[in-house]
C-alpha cells in the first residue's frame, strides 16, 4: 500500500496528520509512507490535492466527496462525533487504511482517537515529555523548576502549559494545580504497578497504560496487578523484546462508561487485568452502563504500544 501526505509549506496540521498516521500504521510493514510539499494550485490539481493536509491511499483521497475541487487552502475534517479538526482521527485513519481497530473503549483511552502525544506548539509536547521523563526516572512528577525550564524556550509559563495540557486531557491536575496523572503514569498508587528495569516502580492509570510504559520507554519492565473478581495476581513481564503473561490465560477488559470527561474519570478505572476471559465477563456483567470488550493479550499489547509508543521518541518541536 502506498500512503502519501500532500501539504503546503509550513502547514500546521501536517505534523498532526503524520503523528496520527504513525499511530494508525503501528506494526504495519506493508505500507510505503511518503510526504510531499505542494506549492501551487496547478500541482494540487495534478496530484489530486483537496486542501492541506490531504491523504492519498494508492493515489485516492478516501476523505474527499465526489466532485471536490483541488485546492491548496487549509483543509478541515469532520469526525464521526461531529468534531471539526485539521486531520482525521487515528480511528478514522485505521478505517480507511484497513488497520484493525480495538473497539469503542480505545477512543476514551486515546483521547477519542486523537492520541496521547501533545502537539509541539506552545511548549505542550516539551512540558509533557518533561513530566513523563520525571515519572520514568523518579516515579513522581517533576519539580516546578524543571517544568519551567522545559517551557522557557517557548516563552510561556509552565503553569499555563500545564493548564492547556489538562484541558486537552494529556494529564490531570488537582485544585491546587498539582499533577495527579500524566497518562500513562499516576502520581498516586493504583492497582497497576510497573517496575521499570534499572528504574523506579511507578503506578499506571489502567491496564492499557501499564502495557504502554515499557514500549514508550523502550525498556524491560514487570507489571503486577490483580484480578478484581478473584484477587489473584496478574503479571506481565517485558524482557528483551519478549512479553510473558502469568497466568497464560490472562486478558484485559476494555471499556468506558457513558458520558464525557477525562479518561481518568471515564475509563481508567475500568480497563483492568483479569486472570481469565470468564472472570472478565463475570465482572463486566456486574457493572452498570459499561460498554466494552475483552481483549486478548496481543490486542491489549498492541493498543498500549499504539497509544503510548511515540510519546518520548517524537521531537519536542
Model pLDDT for residues 198-228, shown as the tens digit of each residue = 999 999 999 999 999 999 999 999 999 999 9
| Ranges in the chain annotated CATH 1.10.10 | 121-186
| Ranges in the chain annotated CATH 3.30.450.410 | 193-308
Model pLDDT for residues 16-64, shown as the tens digit of each residue = 888 788 777 766 778 888 999 999 999 999 999 999 999 999 999 999 9
State which CATH number among 3.30.9.10, 3.30.565.10, 1.10.10.10, 3.40.30.10 fits the domain covering 2-101.
3.40.30.10
Model pLDDT for residues 293-317, shown as the tens digit of each residue = 788 898 889 889 888 988 998 888 7
DSSP string, the chain: -EEEEEE-TT-TTHHHHHHHHHHHTTT--S-EEEEEE--SHHHHHHHT-EEESEEEETTB-TTPPTTPPPEEEE--EE-TTS-EESS--HHHHHHHHTPPP--THHHHHTTTTT-SPPPSGGGHHHHHHHHHHHHHHHSSPPPHHHHHHHHGGGTS-HHHHHHHHHHTTSSEE-TTS-EEEETTEESS--S-EEEETTS-EEEESSHHHHHHHHHHHTS-EEEEEE-TTT--EEEEEEETTEEEEESTT-EEEEEE-SS-S-HHHHTTTT-EEESSHHHHHHHHHTSTT-EEEEE-HHHHHHHHHHHHTTTTTS---
Fold of 121-186: Arc Repressor Mutant, subunit A (1.10.10)
Model pLDDT for residues 140-195, shown as the tens digit of each residue = 999 999 999 999 999 999 999 999 999 999 999 998 899 999 999 999 999 999 99
173: left (phi over 0), alpha (psi -120 to 50) or beta: beta
CATH architecture of 193-308: 2-Layer Sandwich (3.30)
- Whether the model clears a pTM of 0.75, i.e. scores above it, the answer is no
- In sequence order, what are the residues at sequence separation of 6 or more whose Cβ sits closer than 8 angstroms to the Cβ of residue 36? 4, 5, 6, 7, 47
pLDDT of 81 higher than 60: no
**CA 90/CA 98 separation, integer angstroms:** 12
Amino acid at each position: 500500500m502506498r500512503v502519501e501526505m500532500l501539504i503546503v509549506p509550513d502547514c500546521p496540521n501536517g505534523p498532526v496528520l503524520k503523528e496520527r498516521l504513525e499511530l494508525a500504521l503501528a506494526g504495519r510493514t506493508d505500507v510505503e509512507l511518503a510526504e510531499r510539499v505542494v506549492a501551487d494550485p496547478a500541482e494540487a490539481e495534478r496530484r489530486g490535492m483537496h486542501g492541506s493536509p490531504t491523504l492519498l491511499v494508492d493515489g485516492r483521497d478516501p476523505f474527499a466527496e465526489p466532485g471536490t475541487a483541488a485546492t491548496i487552502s487549509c483543509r478541515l475534517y469532520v469526525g464521526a462525533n461531529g468534531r471539526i479538526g485539521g486531520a482525521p482521527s487515528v480511528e478514522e485513519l485505521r478505517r480507511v487504511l484497513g488497520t484493525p481497530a480495538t473497539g469503542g473503549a480505545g477512543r476514551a483511552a486515546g483521547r477519542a482517537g486523537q492520541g496521547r502525544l501533545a502537539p509541539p506548539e506552545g511548549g505542550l509536547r516539551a512540558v509533557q515529555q518533561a513530566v513523563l521523563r520525571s515519572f520514568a526516572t523518579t516515579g513522581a512528577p517533576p519539580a516546578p523548576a524543571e517544568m519551567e525550564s522545559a517551557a522557557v524556550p517557548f516563552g510561556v509559563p509552565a503553569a499555563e502549559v500545564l493548564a492547556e495540557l489538562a484541558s486537552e486531557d494529556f494529564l490531570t491536575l488537582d485544585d491546587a494545580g498539582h499533577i495527579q496523572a500524566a497518562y500513562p503514569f499516576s502520581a498516586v498508587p493504583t492497582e497497576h504497578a510497573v517496575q521499570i528495569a534499572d528504574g523506579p516502580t511507578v503506578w499506571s492509570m489502567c491496564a492499557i497504560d501499564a502495557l504502554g510504559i515499557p514500549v514508550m520507554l523502550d525498556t524491560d519492565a514487570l507489571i503486577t496487578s490483580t484480578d478484581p473478581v478473584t484477587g489473584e495476581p496478574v503479571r506481565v513481564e517485558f524482557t528483551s523484546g519478549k512479553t510473558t503473561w502469568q497466568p497464560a490465560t490472562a486478558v484485559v477488559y476494555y471499556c468506558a462508561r457513558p458520558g464525557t470527561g477525562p479518561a481518568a474519570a471515564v475509563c481508567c478505572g475500568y480497563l483492568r487485568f483479569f486472570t481469565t476471559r470468564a472472570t472478565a465477563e463475570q465482572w463486566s456483567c456486574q457493572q452498570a452502563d459499561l460498554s466494552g470488550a475483552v481483549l486478548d493479550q496481543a490486542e491489549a499489547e498492541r493498543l498500549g504500544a499504539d497509544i503510548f509508543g511515540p510519546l518520548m521518541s517524537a521531537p519536542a518541536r
